[in-house]
Amino acid sequence: MLGSDAEVLAELRGRVSVTVIDDPDILGTYSRDQAAVIPAGRPLAAVLPTTTDEVCAVVETAGRYGRPIVPRGAGSGLSGGANAVDGCLVVSLERMNRVLEVNSQDLYAVVEPGVINADLRAAAAAEGLLYPPDPASYEFSTIGGNVATNAGGLCCVKYGVTRDYVLGLEVVLAGGEVARLGRRTVKGVAGYDLTGLFVGSEGTLGIITQATLRLVPARERPLTVAAFFPELKAAGRAVAEITAAGIGPSVVELLDQTTINAIEDWKRMGLDRDAAALLLIQSDLGGEAAKEEVRAVVSRCESAGASFVAHAGDPEESDELMAARRFAFPALDRQGEALLDDVAVPRSQIPALLAAIEKIAGRHDVVIGTFGHAGEGNVHPTIVYPRNDRASEASALAAFADIVLTALELGGTITGEHGVGLLKRDLLQAELDDASRWLHRTIRSALDPSGLFNPDKVV
Amino acid sequence: MLGSDAEVLAELRGRVSVTVIDDPDILGTYSRDQAAVIPAGRPLAAVLPTTTDEVCAVVETAGRYGRPIVPRGAGSGLSGGANAVDGCLVVSLERMNRVLEVNSQDLYAVVEPGVINADLRAAAAAEGLLYPPDPASYEFSTIGGNVATNAGGLCCVKYGVTRDYVLGLEVVLAGGEVARLGRRTVKGVAGYDLTGLFVGSEGTLGIITQATLRLVPARERPLTVAAFFPELKAAGRAVAEITAAGIGPSVVELLDQTTINAIEDWKRMGLDRDAAALLLIQSDLGGEAAKEEVRAVVSRCESAGASFVAHAGDPEESDELMAARRFAFPALDRQGEALLDDVAVPRSQIPALLAAIEKIAGRHDVVIGTFGHAGEGNVHPTIVYPRNDRASEASALAAFADIVLTALELGGTITGEHGVGLLKRDLLQAELDDASRWLHRTIRSALDPSGLFNPDKVV
């Protein structure tokens, strides 16, 4: 029973009473995320529900008229996971943005999906609590998007990823039913881990309308160590020794030489342009314990062969040292078009991965700056190429795929934290075996037989 | 194409070449787990594969002849999850018991499912590493069973549950295919979290034939604090204050008055029989940091109203103080038949749960001793009743169900770490909403359309 576009819009505006945007000028901003190289279709409309009931009615209407749904948070994704398909309804959860509860006794929060990560952090901080997951986009990305992509961040080395903080979810399924998954307790094994299945499913199994998230007591402002290394292997050794010693820093970030120089070209921070790598390591233990942890980190960096190690005496100095990490992507981005990759390998393979990336850069005649989460073996090789140059874009995309396949060869994964979306849908096939592909297809089509949710994405 | 029992056994012994046990005397030991009150069927045979290929062949054969499969580790489960159904093949993974790799660089182990938890711990310890999950059964339960039930333990308050350590799995699906799920890296978001879906699925979705498990650097031997409280609320206050202060003890266990007295009747350890609760709290930070953590814990217990606080000066004394926790279940068990429950509530609801349990004991005229993981709100009310007394058993089962429903009313879950199995299959319906039930049934039947794996269990 497929109606005309006008009928669908009339029903959404009338019976469903939800805000519908079909002005083509505004609609453009709803048609894609931040993955610039990935094509996006033209949506029929963007729909902005304010309640779970409205989401149900939208899903039911879309299903009845056979219009696909592309769920969307802030559109800050990096893999085209929120890109529109032609004729779809983009369901933006931006207006479901209330923090419903912060429970300081039992350390959890209940939020709507459109809550900005930073707003949840502020609400938690007001109660002396912390929501650890801190994707680089935390100031504008939404919790719904963070959950749908299982977002990572800088804190993962100590605190884990978004999945580790999702206790329960409310989701709207393809039939328009509401399922309340999970729990409010720290532990629980009642049935399948459906919460975990929906985390990271990138909008292909349902629409998240509420999340119950674990919080932890607030941490102290961190102290930073900055260590330059004359070669990548020495930096790898430092990370390995810090890990093996059971030292638990809250941040372990790496910047390679290309990234260091891009930052230096721009900001003149006095970074060592000759260094092969800069490690930025933080302790959030506070007081004497932080100073002791900093000393332990400094000593490991030195014995691993660092050429220069600085450490902050107070949190203000600490922020200055960490600034280099914040500048990494924008510094590369201003040198041309920047295509951000995201791969993870077993920690010990980081030096091998970086050496291989250097060769890939040479082979495709592109510049690649790599930075990221060395403590978990998850880095972001960023391919820089001239803007508006189709031949260079093709080279960049070829280098991109080579990096992903190299990570797989080194025992790693095609994506550590950015997700599959459209960008890596075909590359995902290289990571999964036949039976795993069958499991993906089977679960997806069992839950959404008509292919309503985010078609063409992930699998 | 259903053959006779003899044909099935002949094919398993012949073409498949797997060890098959059908001697009724031996078979009895394969027909049930440790949940005494739960019925078990009579298996056709127990099958003991030694390789993944053999598991595939067994699954394919069972499927062809329409014989259900009940997978089994050590049979140490507490919810009847490994209980046989009539005519089934019990597939015991006990002979797939090799630790295939302990990687001390990248902190993971690869093991077969029949490896005993304690054997993995020993293999990890030999490399200066630790596999944290420590169910009470760790000396005899298998990793396969631990993964299938998402086993908890004493360490969870600091280190999390089994799920938090499973990076990847090899599983044999209902069609006899092998799927390799997950990864070896710390982070990864390539596709759905199928690893997580299989963890805790209690043998209903496939047979686990290999697991890749995250390890951490070895910890120091712990120091213990023992604190007696005149009332439950004071003990609850102590746990809340320790948690809110961001103190991170490695163990936070509670024993109630009934449990304290059962231990005292048996072991005469000098515990305070008048205390409403005993908290046992450990620090595994080692050295000065452990002593500092112990001091912080002692001070919180005292300010919360503890009547007496002892703390160990060294690891030997520490073990003595912890002995009471080890004696908790056997002390209750020797007073009659002991029916062990397992519920979790938000941490702050522990005093309310224990007060409700006292009323339930009175209402059903049974003795209930409660002990467990107060730090995560997961406790084990243990109902003690006269052996071989059907009326008392009925009262015990009624009290058991009341406790579970009370936990749900307090915002908790019907099982914190023991699983659903047969014991709580019907109670699970009280926790799940309609859409969640549909998700369970739909996923299960999509993956195993003929109902081969562990029929009648969980859902």
| Digit-coded pLDDT (tens) for A333-361 | 999 999 999 999 999 999 999 999 999 99
pTM higher than 0.90: yes
- Which pLDDT score, from 0 to 100, does residue B129 have? 97
Please check whether residue B102 touches A, CB under 8 A. no
Q: Is the pLDDT confidence value at B62 over 70?
A: yes
Q: How far is CA B26 from CA A191, A227, B144, in A?
A: 31, 63, 22
Shortest Cα distance, chain A CAs vs residue B234, angstroms: 15
| pLDDT value of position A2 | 78
The confidence score (pLDDT) of residue B173 equals 98
Q: Do B188 and A433 touch (CB under 8 A)?
A: no
Give me the mean pLDDT over the B361-376 stretch: 96
Q: What is the pLDDT of residues A30-39, one digit of tens each?
A: 999 999 889 9
- When CB atoms are compared, the residue of A163, A414, A436 closest to B181 is A436
Strands across the sheet containing B108-111: B99-103, B108-111, B207-214, B166-172, B178-182
A190·B348 Cβ contact <8 A: no
The answer to whether A190 contacts B412, with C-beta atoms less than 8 Å apart, is: no
Cβ contact (<8 Å) for B179 and A415? Answer: no
Mutate to test the interface with A, among B180, B189, B434, B442 (most CBs of A within 10 A): B189
**Least confident interval from A166-170, B33-37, B146-150:** B33-37
Give the chain A residue whose CA is nearest to the CA of B156. A187
pLDDT at B36: 85
* % chain B with pLDDT above 70: 100
Stretch A75-88: mean pLDDT, rounded? 96
| In the predicted structure, residue A84 carries a pLDDT above the cut 90 | yes
Distance (Å, whole) CA A101 – CA A107: 10
Q: Do B196 and A191 touch (CB under 8 A)?
A: no
ipTM: 0.96
Percent of residues, chain A, with pLDDT higher than 70: 100
Residue A1 has pLDDT above 70, yes or no: no
pLDDT at A295: 97
CB-based contact (8 Å) between A97 and chain B?
A: no
pLDDT tens string B324-353: 999 999 999 999 999 999 999 999 999 999
In chain A, the percentage of residues whose pLDDT exceeds 90 is 96
**Whether A170 contacts A52, CB under 8 Å:** yes
Residue A142: band (very low, low, confident or very high) from pLDDT cuts 50, 70, 90 = very high
Which chain B residues touch A246 with a CB distance below 8 Å? 216-219
HEC string of chain B equals: CCCCHHHHHHHHHCCCCCEEECCHHHHHHHCCCCCCCCCCCCCCEEEECCCHHHHHHHHHHHHHHCCCEEEECCCCCCCCCCCCCCCCEEEECCCCCCEEEEECCCCEEEECCCCEHHHHHHHHHCCCEECCCCCCCCCCCEHHHHHHHCCCCCCHHHHCCHHHHEEEEEEECCCCCEEEEECCCCCCCCCCCHHHHHCCCCCCCCEEEEEEEECEECCCCCEEEEEEECCHHHHHHHHHHHHHCCCCCCEEEEEEHHHHHHHHHHHCCCCCCCCCEEEEEEECCCHHHHHHHHHHHHHHHHHHCCCEEEECCCHHHHHHHHHHHHHHHHHHHCCCEEEECCEECCHHHHHHHHHHHHHHHHHHCCEEEEEEEHHHCEEEEEEEECCCCHHHHHHHHHHHHHHHHHHHHCCCECCCCCCCCCCCHHHHHHHCCHHHHHHHHHHHHHHCCCCCECCCCCC
Mean pLDDT over B91-96 rounds to: 98
Minimum-distance CB partner of A433 among B179, B245, B434: B179
Q: Which residues of B touch A106 (CB under 8 A)?
A: 346-349, 377
Res. B416: pLDDT tops 60: yes
Res A313: pLDDT: 85
Give the pLDDT confidence score for residue B203 in this predicted structure.
98
CA distance A240 to B34: 43
Chain B residues close to A348, C-beta within 8 Å: 105-106
* Burial degree of A7 (CB within 10 A; 0-12, 13-18, 19+): exposed
Is B457's pLDDT higher than 90?
A: yes
pLDDT at residue A253 is higher than 90: yes
pLDDT of residue B448: 98
Specify the pLDDT at position B427: 96
Cβ neighbours of B432 in A, within 8 Å: 190-191
Predicted local confidence at residue A36, as pLDDT? 85
Both tokens of A313, joined, read 């005496």
Comparing alpha-carbon positions, the chain A residue that sits nearest to B458 is: A191
Q: Are B346 and A106 inside 8 Å of each other by CB?
A: yes
Residue B196's pLDDT is what? 98
Tell me the nearest-neighbour CA distance from A9 into chain B, angstroms: 28
The arithmetic mean of pLDDT across residues A47-67, rounded, is: 98
- Angstroms from A375 CA to nearest CA on chain B: 9
State the average pLDDT for chain B. Answer: 96
Chain B residues within an 8 Å CB radius of A173 = 435, 438-439
Contact residues on chain B for A438, CB-CB shorter than 8 A: 173, 177, 179
By C-alpha distance, the chain B residue nearest A219 is B246
pLDDT score, position B2: 78
User: How sure is the predictor about B313, in pLDDT bands with cuts at 50, 70 and 90?
Assistant: confident
pLDDT above 70 for B1: no
Q: Establish, for the pair of chains A and B, how many residue pairs have beta carbons separated by less than 8 Å.
A: 264
pLDDT confidence tier of residue B17, bands split at 50, 70 and 90: very high
Note the pLDDT of residue A31.
Answer: 97
Residues 143-162 of A with CB under 8 A from B: 149-150, 152, 156, 160-161
Q: How confident is the model at residue B395 (pLDDT cuts 50, 70, 90)?
A: very high
